[in-house]
Chain A
Amino acid sequence: MAESNNQDLVTLTVDGMTTSVPQGTLVIEAARQVGVMIPHFCYHPKLTPDANCRMCLVEIEKLPRLQTSCSTKVAEGMVVKSNVPHVDEARKSVLEFILANHPLDCPVCDQGGRCDLQDFSHQYTPTTSRFTELKRVFPKEYFSPLIETQMNRCVQCMRCVRYCDQVMDVKALAPSGRGTLTEIKHFSAHELDCEFCGGCVQICPVGAITSRLSMYDFRPWMLKRTDTICTYCGDGCHITIQKKQDELIEVNSTQGVGRNNGDLCARGFFGYHASVHPDRIMHPLIKQQDGRFAQATWEEALELVAEKFQGIKTAFGGNAFGGLVTSRCTNEELYLFQKFMRGVLGSNRVDSSARFGHVNGTLPLLSVQGTHRWTATFEDIVDADALLLIGTNITETNPITGLKVKQAVKQGHAILVTMESLLPARGTISNITLLATHHLPVRPDHYHIAIVGLIKSVLDNGLVDPGLETRAPEFFRAIKAAIDSTSWAHIEEVSGVSREVFSQSAHAFSSSTRGMIIVGQGVLRSPRGAEMVTNLLDFLILTGRHGQPGCGLCPLAEENNDQGAIEMGATAEFLPGPIAIGHHDTRQALSKLWEVDLPQEPASSLMEMFRDAQAGQVKAMYIVGENPVESLPQTGKIKEALESLEFLVCQELFLTETAQLADVVLPACSYVEKDGTFTNTEGMVQPVRQAIDPIGESRPDWEIFSALSVVMDQPMEYGEARDIFKEIRSVIPGYGLVGPVATRPTPKVDVVQQYLQEGFAHGLATRYVCTQDQPASDTPFLLASTQSLFHSGKFSTRSKGLLQIQSSGAIMLNPSDAKKLGIASGDSVCVSNAHGAVTTIARVLNRIPPDVACFPEHFDQDIRCLFELHIDKESHVPYSKLTWVRLERVEKGDV
Chain B
Amino acid sequence: MPTHEKILLKNMDQPGYTGSLKDYEAVGGYQALRRVMKELAPADLIDIVKQSGLRGRGGAGFPTGVKWSFIPKDYTGPKYLCCNADESEPGTFKDRQLMERDPHQVLEGIAIACQAIGAETAYIYIRGEFRLGAKILEHAIDEARQARYLGENVLSSGVPIQVYVHAGAGAYICGEETALLESLEGKRGMPRVKPPFPATHGLYQKPTVVNNVETLANLPHIVTRGADWFASIGSPPKSTGTRIFCLSGHVKQPGNYEVPMGITFRELIYEHAGGMRGEKPLKAFIPGGASASFLTEAHLDVKLDFESVAQAGSMLGSGGVTVMEEGTSMVWAALRLMEFFYHESCGKCTPCREGSSWLVQVLQRIVDRRGRMEDLQVLADLCQNIVGRTVCAFGDAEIAPIVGTLQYWRNEYEDLIRESTAISTTSKELPVLALNS
We find that the number of chain B residues with CB closer than 8 angstroms to chain A is 33
B432 contacts A133, C-beta separation under 8 Å: yes
B390 sits at the interface (CB 8 A):
yes
Chain A's closest residue to B375 (CB) is A132
- Is there contact, CB below 8 Å, between B388 and A66? yes
Give the residue of B193, B365, B388 whose beta carbon is less than 8 angstroms from that of A133.
B365
Chain A nearest CB, measured from B169 CB (Å): 11
Q: Smallest CB–CB gap between A129 and chain B, Å?
A: 11
**What string of 1s and 0s marks CB contacts (under 8 Å) between A152-186 and chain B?**
00011000000000000000001101111110000
B345 within 8 A of A: yes
Q: Would you call A156 and B347 a contact (CB within 8 A)?
A: yes
Contact B353 A93 (CB under 8 A): no
Closest A-chain residue to B194, C-beta based? A71
Tell me if A134 and B361 are in contact (CB < 8 A). Answer: yes
Q: Is the CB of A97 within 8 A of B347?
A: no
Residues on B with beta carbons closer than 8 Å to the beta carbon of A68: 193
| A825 close to chain B: CB less than 8 A | no
Minimum distance in angstroms from A80 CB to a CB of chain B: 17
Task: List residues of chain B with CB within 8 A of the CB of A131.
Answer: 358
Give a binary string over B341-363; 1 marks a CB under 8 Å from any A CB, 0 the rest: 01111111111011111100110
Interchain CA distance A857-B353 in the complex, whole Å: 49
Per-position contact with A for B364-384: 1 when CB-CB < 8 Å, else 0? 010000000000001001000
Name B354's contact: one of A51, A100, A130, A175 (CB within 8 Å). A100
- Give the residues in chain B near A439, CB-CB below 8 Å: none
Is A52 within 8 A of B344, CB to CB?
A: no
- CB-CB under 8 A for A100 and B346, given A133-B432, A134-B430: no
Q: Name A93's closest neighbour in chain B (CB-CB).
A: B385
A57 at the interface (CB under 8 A from B): yes
A270 to B21, CA, bound (A): 65
A65 contacts the other chain (Cβ, under 8 Å)? Answer: yes
Q: Decide yes or no: A101 and B354 within 8 Å by CB, A57-B389, A178-B171 being known contacts.
A: yes
Chain B nearest CB, measured from A313 CB (Å): 71
Contacts A93-B351, A100-B358, A101-B354 given; does A132 touch B432 at CB 8 Å: yes
Decide yes or no whether A49 CB sits under 8 A from chain B: yes
Contact, CB under 8 Å: B345 / A97: no
B residues 308-361 touching A (CB-CB < 8 Å): 342-351, 353-358, 361
Task: Using known A-B contacts A133-B432, A134-B430, A156-B347, determine if residue A174 contacts B342 with beta carbons closer than 8 Å.
Answer: no
Q: Does A53 contact B (CB under 8 A)?
A: yes
Complexed CA–CA distance, A178 and B343 (Å): 7
B345 to A179, Cβ gap below 8 A? Answer: yes
Q: Is B188 an interface residue (CB 8 A)?
A: yes
Q: B435 on the interface (CB 8 Å rule)?
A: yes
Query: Known contacts being A178-B347, A182-B347, is A133 close to B362, with CB within 8 Å?
Result: yes
Partner of B378, one of A101, A130, A136, A175: A130
Contacts of B391 in A (CB 8 A): 51-52
Nearest opposing residue in chain A for B361, CB measure: A133
Q: Are A180 and B347 in contact (CB under 8 A)?
A: yes
Residues of chain A with a CB closer than 8 A to B350's CB: 52-55, 94, 97-98, 155-156
Q: Does A562 contact B (CB under 8 A)?
A: no
Contact with B along A122-143 (1 / 0, CB 8 A): 0000000011111010000000
Tell whether, in the assembled complex, residue A179 and residue B347 are in contact, meaning their CB atoms are under 8 Å apart: yes
Q: How far is the CB of B235 from chain A (nearest CB, A)?
A: 26
Query: Do A179 and B435 touch (CB < 8 A)?
Result: no
Instruction: Name the residue on B nearest A68 (C-beta).
Output: B193
- A130 CB contacts on chain B under 8 angstroms: 378, 381
| A179 contacts B344, C-beta separation under 8 Å | yes
Q: Chain B residues near A134 (CB, 8 Å)?
A: 361, 429-430
Q: Which chain B positions have C-beta within 8 A of A100?
A: 354, 357-358
Nearest B residue (CB) for A41: B350
The residue from B342, B357, B385 contacting A96, defined by CB atoms under 8 A apart: B385
Taking a contact as CB atoms under 8 Å apart, the answer to whether A133 and B389 are in contact is: no
| Complex Cα–Cα for A557 and B343 (A) | 53
Contact between chains at B351 and A179 (CB < 8 Å)? no
A183 to B324, CA, bound (A): 38
- A97–B188 touching, CB < 8 Å: no
User: Are A52 and B349 neighbours in the complex by a CB distance under 8 Å?
Assistant: yes
A50 within 8 A of B: yes
Residue of B nearest to A50 (CB): B193
Asked whether B347 lies within 8 Å of A177 as measured between CB atoms, the reply is yes
Q: Which residues from chain B contact A98 at a C-beta distance below 8 Å? A: 350, 354
Cα–Cα, bound, A191→B381 (Å): 43
Q: Which residues of B contact A57 (CB under 8 A)?
A: 389
The answer to whether B355 touches A97 (Cβ under 8 A) is yes
**Are A156 and B353 in contact, CB atoms less than 8 angstroms apart?**
yes
Q: Is A306 an interface residue (CB 8 A)?
A: no
Taking CB atoms, residues of chain B closer than 8 Å to A435 are none
Q: A90 at the A/B interface (Cβ < 8 Å)?
A: yes
Of B344, B358, B388, which contacts A178 at CB under 8 A? B344
Q: Write out the residue numbers on chain A whose beta carbons fall within 8 Å of the beta carbon of B193.
A: 49-51, 68, 71
With contacts A51-B391, A178-B346 taken as known, whether A97 is within 8 angstroms of B430 at the C-beta atoms is no
CB-CB < 8 A to B349: which residues of A? 51-54
B109 to chain A, nearest CB (A): 32
Task: Assess whether A54 is in contact with B430, with CB atoms less than 8 Å apart.
Answer: no
A179 and B389 form a contact (CB under 8 A):
no
Question: Are A179 and B346 interface neighbours, CB within 8 A?
Answer: yes
In the complex, what residues of B have CB within 8 A of residue A181's CB? 347
Contact: B351 with A178, CB < 8 Å? Answer: no
Whether B344 lies near A54 (C-beta < 8 A) is no
Q: Could you list 16 examples of A-B contacts with CB < 8 Å?
A: A50-B193, A51-B349, A53-B349, A54-B389, A94-B351, A98-B354, A100-B354, A100-B358, A130-B378, A134-B361, A134-B430, A136-B357, A156-B350, A177-B347, A178-B171, A181-B347
Q: Which residues of B contact A (CB under 8 A)?
A: 171, 188, 193, 342-351, 353-358, 361-362, 365, 378, 381, 385, 388-391, 429-430, 432, 435
- Going nearest first, the 5 A-B pairs with the smallest beta carbon separation are A93-B385, A97-B354, A182-B347, A133-B361, A179-B345
Q: Which residues of A contact B (CB under 8 A)?
A: 49-55, 57, 65-66, 68, 71, 90, 93-94, 96-98, 100-101, 130-134, 136, 155-156, 174-175, 177-182
Known: A100-B354, A133-B358, A178-B171. 5 other contacts (CB 8 A): A97-B350, A98-B350, A100-B358, A134-B430, A136-B357
